[in-house]
Structure 1
Amino acid sequence: MKIRELFAKNKTHIAKPESKGAVNDVPEGIMTKCPACKSITLTKDVQENKMVCPSCDHHFKMTARERVEIFLDDDTFESMDDHLQTENPLHFPGYTEKVNADAKRTGLNEAVLTGKGKLGGNEIAIAIMDSHFRMGSMGSVVGEKITRAIEYATEHKLPFVIFTASGGARMQEGVLSLMQMAKTSVALKRHSEHGLLFVSILTHPTTGGVSASFASVGDINLAEPKALIGFAGRRVIEQTVREKLPENFQTAEFLLEHGQIDQVVHRKDMRRTVSTIIKLHTNGGKNNG
């Protein structure tokens, strides 16, 4: 009885809203909480700041469509290969349903958006991985779309730019997903043999088979601040080498310090930086190669 009385007593001290609808007065999604500094900001202000926290400069994850909007010249993007559909070659339980659900939620056919557009007036071929779709994992369609975009760039003598964001190869497709590492790398080699420019932009996170293939072989490799970049996870590496790794291990800044990337570029400066790189490698909008 004493326990019941205690609970009854505590219930009387719980503040109740003045009106029944008071709790729902603030529309869902109007505020955004930063996972880094925990500050709460109007979602509109975060979006206007290119999805960067105004308080601590934390770079939020972006959708592929959001990157198109802030990176390419207005109304120049044309997507490619939106018709390609992922299948379930290993008959992995629930795989098709999950892919279809992500497609419906994101409006993409797979975890990468590919196409052509203009940057600073120069035409480029581009691929943008989207971590909102199966964590940006690389399956057969992702590899095929990226390869086709590279081949288009080669055929039309265009620079190729990619934004990477991935958890690695997609386990539901087994060795077929791992084959995409070789396929995309061969396409990039052919692109390079024509004297064409490849700029790789690594965003948070770029891991696994993606980091070990096309993401790391750009003529110029850039990264967003504090992006997680690496192959195996921290715990796996520490258990293998039996050493404690530095706190900033596998961050963009760590890779820059050790010569694995060329520059860490703030999202606000990315468009200008890549546009300048492309202009330095072109002549009047026509590739020197």
Structure 2
Amino acid sequence: MSAAYGRDLSRAAARSGRDESIRTGAGRVAGHRVAVVASEYDFLGGSVGRAATRRATAAIERATAEKRVLLALPASGGTRIQEGTPAFLQMLTISAAIAGHRAASLPYLVYLRHPTTGGVLASWASLGHVTFAEPGALVGFLGPRVVEALTGAALARDAQSPRALRRAGVVDAVVAPVDLREAVQRVLRVVAVDRGPTTAESDTGAQPAGVELVERGEPDQTGDPWASVLATRAPDRPGLRAFLAASTSDLTLLGASELGQGPDVPGTPMVTALALLRGIPCVVIGQDREAQRHQPIGVRALHAAQHAVQRAADLRLPIVTVIDTPGAELSEEAERSGLAAAIAHCLAALLSTPVPTVSVLLGQGAGGAALALLPADAVVAAEDAWLAPLPPEGASTIMHRTVDHAAEMARELRITADDLYRLGAVDVVVARGPAGVGTTAGFAGLAGAVAHCLAGVAVRDAATRLAARRDRHRRLSS
């Protein structure tokens, strides 16, 4: 250590009242056992060298051994320049400890404080299962002064803001320090390892309470598939937002997801979230019919869904997908961005994930955007929901070179929930009932059926579940 560096350390200790830039501890948040690794920015700008790394790594490994939730609160300029490249390599050491914690399926939460930059952000500060950020914080790869010095150009004022990173899906929520405790508690009620056994509101061996199932038998000759198509397209038909309101609690949106709030905030077409569904912790991946009026499902939305599948697998949480889409984005940009490949990778992720999965066919199910969320251990369908390779108008165009035969094609394509039940693609069809499935009140019964199916598939071990999932889809061709 140089004499100058020694003087820097002494001054930093006197100024901050700390002996290093990392502080660690353990405690409880709402009864959940939590370990904490926090930066001390007043100590050399929170920069991380070898001593700080040893302290952080020991705390992370101890949290893993004790099966604690890990909460990181970085505020750092990055690597400690006084120690050079050896300090830079410490980002690998801390990240390896985080990787071990995540490999044990233990939750890792991050709160990005002002400022968080450099090697810290490019390593362990960006590896959280859920990432919050402080409003107004500077969060970026390099500080703006360094960027301008190296490139000769200044960054836009908001390029390194939490809200910009939220729009990019890097930050899950912007949370004021006063609200952080509540935000962490909400997440822990879903992901915490000591949350106790997972239970549903109904026994797995019986029909869920309050759910009216469609009677099976011969096809319903009186039902009109085209009428179902029109019903699911009605402008006032409730969708994902009503389903979530009726069935979930402790909802935490993930990535860039937004639930719309009026015409000025239409929301995102694909919503991913942590939630309790009838008391069952899960990751929800759903298509918002209202948001799709403004923005169809494209590559970015499908990537968000695939990322949510990975988060669920990391945390060993069940997945509930909700299908309600008029179809994917049709544009030159979507084609150039690889829309078809994004659909394929999304459905492949659901086919191969080891966690329990239940899909909900809520309304429209047009084309690849619907297929991307369909693979599951069990599928629940609203009675008037439907699934087709493309909208009936598209099928009519292929067969008749006009959209005028759309109603006829809807009747010929076997698109209804009852058709899908007989094909073996749907397990439970929930009847409309007095209120109707396509109403907010009607979603309570649908939620009960989903919880019932979740409880049923969760009792299997992962290997048995994957084998049954493969057999399920193989039978579709028999």
By the TM > 0.5 criterion, same fold?
Answer: yes
Partner of 2:68: 158
Structure-to-structure mapping, 1:134-283, within 5 angstroms: 134-234=44-144, 236-237=146-147, 245-282=155-192
**For the residues of structure 2 that align with 1:123 and 1:198, how far apart are their CA atoms?**
12
Distance verdict in 2 for CA 1:132–1:279, change over 3 Å: same
Letter in 2 for 1:212: A
Deviation at 1:238, TM superposition (A): 5.6
1:100 positional shift: 2.2
Is 1:100 the counterpart of 2:21? The answer is no
Question: Does the CA contact (< 8 Å) of 1:127 and 1:146 recur in 2?
Answer: yes
Alpha-carbon offset, residue 221 of structure 1: 1.0
- Quick one: distance in 2 between partners of 1:174 and 1:286? 46
How far apart are the structure 2 equivalents of 1:106 and 1:176? 24
TM-score of the aligned structures, taking structure 1 as reference length: 0.64
Give the Cα–Cα distance (whole angstroms) in 1 for the partners of residues 76 and 155 of structure 2. 22
Q: Name the CA shift for 1:262/1:101 in 2 (closer, same or farther; >3 Å).
A: same
Cα deviations across residues 173-219 of structure 1 (Å, max 9, x unaligned)?
11121111100111111111111000011000001111111011111
> Radius of gyration: which is bigger?
2
Residue type at the aligned position of 1:104: A
The whole-number CA distance in structure 1 between the counterparts of 2:41 and 2:119 is 15
CA distance in structure 2 between the partners assigned to 1:109 and 1:286 by the alignment: 39
Q: In structure 2, how many angstroms separate the alpha carbons of the residues matched to 1:261 and 1:192?
A: 18
Q: Report the Cα distance in structure 1 between the residues aligned to 2:94 and 2:194, rounded to whole angstroms.
A: 29
Report the Cα offset of residue 235 of structure 1.
5.2
Residues of 2 paired with 1:176 and 1:242: CA distance?
A: 28
Q: 1:236 to 1:130 in 2, by over 3 A?
A: closer
**C-alpha RMSD of the superposition:** 2.2
- Cα 1:237/1:172, change in 2 over 3 Å: closer
- Give the superposition deviation at 1:130: 1.2
Q: 3-state SS of the aligned residue for 1:131?
A: coil
Q: Percent identity?
A: 35
User: Residues 225 and 173 from structure 1, CA distance in 2 versus in 1: closer, same or farther, beyond 3 angstroms?
Assistant: same
CA distance in 2, matches of 1:241, 1:171: 20
**Alignment check: 8 A CA contact 1:129 1:136 kept:** yes
Distance 1:238 1:187, change over 3 A: same
Distance 1:110 1:235 in 2: 25
| Unmatched tracts of structure 1, length 5 or more | 1-87
Greater relative contact order structure (CA < 8 Å, 6+ sep): 1
Paired residues in the alignment total 199
- In 2, are the aligned partners of 1:121 and 1:285 still within 8 Å (CA)? no
Q: Residues 105 and 285 (structure 1 numbering): CA distance in 2 closer, same or farther, change over 3 Å?
A: farther
Unaligned runs of 5+ in 2: 198-314, 317-478
Counterpart residue number, 2:31: 121
After superposition, the C-alpha distances for 1:243-282 in whole angstroms (9 at most, x for unaligned) are 6643211011111111111110011110111122122112
Structure 1 residues 279 and 240: alpha-carbon distance in aligned structure 2, compared to 1, 3 A threshold: same
Structure 2 CA distance for aligned equivalents of residues 112 and 149 of structure 1: 10
Q: Is the 8 A contact 1:124 1:158 kept in 2?
A: yes
Partner of 2:300: none
